[in-house]
Amino acid sequence: MNNIAVVILNWNGKKLLEEFLPSVMNHSPEAVIYVADNASTDDSVAFVTANFPDVKIIRNNGNYGYAGGYNKALEEVEEEYYALVNSDVEVTEGWLRPVLALFESDPETAIIQPKILDQKNKIMFEYAGAAGGFIDRFGYPFCRGRIFNTLEKDKGQYDDNTEIFWASGACFFIRRNVYRELKGFDEDFFAHQEEIDLCWRAFNLNYKIRFCGSTVIYHVGGATLSNTNPRKTYLNFRNSLLMMTKNLPSGQLLPVLFLRLCLDGLAGVQFLLQGKLSHIMAIIKAHFSFYALFSKFLSKRESKQYRNYYKINSIVIKYYVLNGRIFDKNI
């Protein structure tokens, strides 16, 4: 029996499945392929059934977003390893073999991310994960190969197998037993940063999250929700605050949250200078939603949260004040 499942979450994504599912089918002989459908209203499920009869279909009874959609679907998936793959991802020949070898060589490695390049410009890293993620002290995520909106060209500078802090949900490998131990993604996130939260919880249990530079995939990015969409701004700002509420070490919780809220205010000023009023409103809405959910997320905190989670105090200062646009290997 194959011991890895490739699970593609779908919601009204027939065009994406038409374009990218063939690469998954052609290059994944080691895997069982699933399409987990979030109650699509287009004919994407009929398309898969007619054209790819070997793909297993899991039908969710509603659109539960990324977090809930995967949680419900993976209740039915029993392979040892999960590869959670966005529907706008093109995979490459042999992409699964290095990941499986890394899992099997190190039992403490629980989560793996491949190299993620831009499907539209294949020499460039892609925004959603690039060569593996970190966060700064205030919860701002950044990647090797991508800091804020500055992307690096892939020159082989990150062709390694190294520990990272978070792996991108665009292509997210995890052991089944760890996923279930962590009770999957937090469904209150709906979408965006739930993978960072899950990685942080794994990190707090001393599991390793690794980058596998010898596996390459290409990601379109923004196919379901563009970076210019205020909805994405809302989810990113809100979910980052919720994630920190759950996972920050106790002594740092309130002071770090307060400073982060102030930094969000500065982000609002930047949007104002750019004339992006809808994004300012998205930040305000995110903060009010955070306040409403604060008590609930306090109750989700684990009893022991003491590990140092960041390698740099402020990526905001490094990027905007010190002009640090490229990932520094000394971080």
| Residues 239, 94 share a domain | no
**CATH number for the domain that contains residue 75:** 3.90.550.10
- C-alpha neighbours within 13 Å on the C-beta side of residue 279: 21
Written as one string, the DSSP assignment of 259-312 is HHHHHHHHHHHHHHHTT-HHHHHHHHHHHHHHHHHHHHHHTT--S---S---S-
Provide CB contacts within 8 A for 234, sequence distance 6+.
282, 283, 285, 286, 289
| Residues 32, 128 share a domain | yes
Length of the chain: 331
| Residues 106, 64 share a domain | yes
Residue 110 placed within a domain: yes
pLDDT digits (tens, 9 = 90+) for 145-202: 999 989 999 999 999 999 999 999 999 999 999 999 999 999 999 888 999 999 999 9
Residue 118 placed within a domain: yes
Which tokens hold the place of 97?
């073999």
> Mean pLDDT over residues 238-242, rounded?
96
Confidence (pLDDT) at 92:
98
Of 219, 253, 273, which one is at a domain's C-terminal end? Answer: 219
> Mean pLDDT over residues 52-71, rounded?
96
How much of the chain exceeds pLDDT 90, in percent? 87
Residue pair 10/17 in contact (Cβ under 8 Å)? The answer is yes
More confident residue, 149 or 113: 113
pLDDT of residue 250 exceeding 90 = no
| Residues 244, 166 share a domain | no
Which tokens hold the place of 213?
């530079």
Residue 208 CA to residue 132 CA, distance in Å, equals 13
> Mean pLDDT over residues 19-46, rounded?
97
| Residues 213, 80 share a domain | yes
Stated pTM of the model: 0.94
At 331, the pLDDT band (50, 70, 90 cuts) reads low
Confidence (pLDDT) at 327:
86
Residue 313 placed within a domain: no
| Residues 175, 31 share a domain | yes
Question: What SS3 state is found at 248?
Answer: coil
| Residues 296, 270 share a domain | yes
Question: What SS3 state is found at 11?
Answer: coil
Residue 227 CA to residue 229 CA, distance in Å, equals 5
pLDDT of residue 1 exceeding 60 = no
At 226, the pLDDT band (50, 70, 90 cuts) reads low
The residue range of the domain holding 44 is 4-219
Beta-bridge partner residues of 135: 141
Pairing of strands 81-85, 150-151: unpaired
At 322, the pLDDT band (50, 70, 90 cuts) reads confident
Residue 83 CA to residue 99 CA, distance in Å, equals 10
> Mean pLDDT over residues 259-267, rounded?
94
Question: What SS3 state is found at 153?
Answer: strand
Confidence (pLDDT) at 295:
97
Among 25, 139, 3, 147, smallest CA distance to 85 is for: 25
At 225, the pLDDT band (50, 70, 90 cuts) reads low
| Residues 100, 11 share a domain | yes
Residue 321 placed within a domain: no
Residue 32 amino acid letter: V
Beta-bridge partner residues of 161: 212
pLDDT of residue 227 exceeding 70 = no
Into how many domains does the chain fold? Answer: 2
Residue 22 CA to residue 196 CA, distance in Å, equals 29
pLDDT of residue 126 exceeding 60 = yes
Question: Please, what is the average pLDDT of the chain?
Answer: 94
| Residues 239, 112 share a domain | no
| Residues 243, 212 share a domain | no
pLDDT digits (tens, 9 = 90+) for 292-318: 999 999 999 987 666 789 989 999 889
Residue 113 amino acid letter: Q
Least confident among 50-59, 278-287, 321-330: 321-330
pLDDT of residue 89 exceeding 90 = yes
* 21: number of Cβ within 10 Å: 25
